[in-house]
Amino acid sequence: MKLALFDCDGTLVDSQHVIVEAMTRAFARGGHVLPPRGRVLGIVGLSLVEAMRELGDHDPDFPAEAMADLYREAFREIRAEPGFLEPMFPGVRAVLDRLAAREDVLMGIATGKSQRGVAAVLQHHGLEGRFVTIQTADDAPSKPHPAMVLQAIEAAGVRPEDTVLIGDTSFDMIMARAAGARAIGVTWGYHAAELLNRSGAERLIDDADHLVPAMDQLWGIARERN
């Protein structure tokens, strides 16, 4: 059995506008200057407190935990507003459908989101029950620590070498390789392709249609084209 382990923000769904808006509100309410948009998106994937520490330049006087609480408050507000959407990236739904139809593949999630945040995404897109393991910032140290992947491997009952982590950030690639798993970087997310390569990506995917063949290549599976 194989495990396809997906990151969420930047890989399955495009949350950048929501993340930036929530950060904007949190920093304004906390009385701090928001770093540039590129820096904000660069921390996507880290657990929230660690992300705030990064945005605060690891200044010991920067109130990372309080800022994380302000972000959560702002995100909840935005989620309740009319028109809220974290859209799936093009082609990703078809990938999930294709993998769900296979008897040799399980699917999981490893994300810096909270369990509550993941549940909201899955409910909105009708994906409840698709994933045998959901590892979040509530359950493990922040990426790139390998705990999320190791816990997912144990929960799914597979081997590290039979696990492929699909993500859009350097944190995902480092986390996967540290856990002994394979790593595929997708370029439609928030970190540049060059950074994904440097961080251990074994394949880079520009189009979701190419994702399943790339996974099968890493697993060494020869499959007939449909």
**124: domain CATH number?**
3.40.50.1000
Based on the domain organization, do 125 and 70 belong to the same domain? no
40 burial level (CB within 10 Å; 0-12, 13-18, 19+): buried
Contact 132, 153 (CB under 8 A): no
Could you tell me the residue range of the domain that residue 188 belongs to? 2-14+87-219
Q: Are residues 23 and 122 in the same domain?
A: no
Domain boundary among 25, 50, 80: 80
Asked if the structure places residue 225 within a domain, the reply is no
Q: How far is CA 111 from CA 83, 152, 176, in A?
A: 24, 11, 12
For the chain, count helices (H), then strands (E).
10, 6
Q: What pLDDT does residue 110 have?
A: 97
Cα 45-66-17 angle, rounded to 5 deg = 40
- In angstroms, rounded to a whole number, what is the distance separating the alpha carbons of residues 179 and 147? 8
Distance of CA 60 to the CA centre of its chain: 27
Residue at a domain's end among 65, 80, 95: 80
The confidence score (pLDDT) of residue 222 equals 61
User: Do 92 and 75 belong to one domain?
Assistant: no
Q: What is the pLDDT of residue 223?
A: 57
Q: How far is CA 213 from CA 109, 113, 199, in A?
A: 20, 28, 22
- pLDDT for 122: 96
pLDDT the model gives residue 83: 83
In sequence order, which residues have a C-beta less than 8 Å from that of residue 170 and are 6 or more positions away? Answer: 144, 191, 195, 196, 198, 199
Residue 50: HSE in the Cβ half-sphere, 13 Å Cα cutoff: 17
Tell whether 152 and 59 lie within a shared domain.
no
pLDDT exceeds 70 at position 224: no
Q: Global pTM? A: 0.91
Q: Are residues 10 and 21 in the same domain?
A: no
Within this chain, do residues 31 and 7 fall inside the same structural domain, yes or no?
no
Q: Report residue 221's pLDDT band, with 50, 70 and 90 as the boundaries.
A: confident
What pLDDT is recorded for position 107?
98
> Do residue 57 and residue 98 come from a single domain?
no
- Which pLDDT belongs to residue 189? 94
Q: Is the pLDDT of residue 226 over 70?
A: no
Pair 23, 128 in one domain: no
Sequence letter at residue 207 = D
Q: pLDDT digits over 80-115, tens only? A: 999 888 999 999 999 999 999 999 999 999 999 999
pLDDT at 225: 45
Q: Is 141 left (phi over 0), alpha (psi -120 to 50) or beta?
A: beta
Residue 149 lies in a domain: yes
Give me the mean pLDDT over the 200-222 stretch: 94
- Per-residue pLDDT of 47-88, as tens digits, reads 999 999 999 999 999 999 999 999 999 999 998 999 888 999
Q: How many domains does the chain have?
A: 2
The verdict on 108 and 58 lying in the same domain is no
* 159 pLDDT higher than 60: yes
What percentage of the chain carries pLDDT values higher than 90?
A: 91
Q: Residues 94, 184: one domain?
A: yes
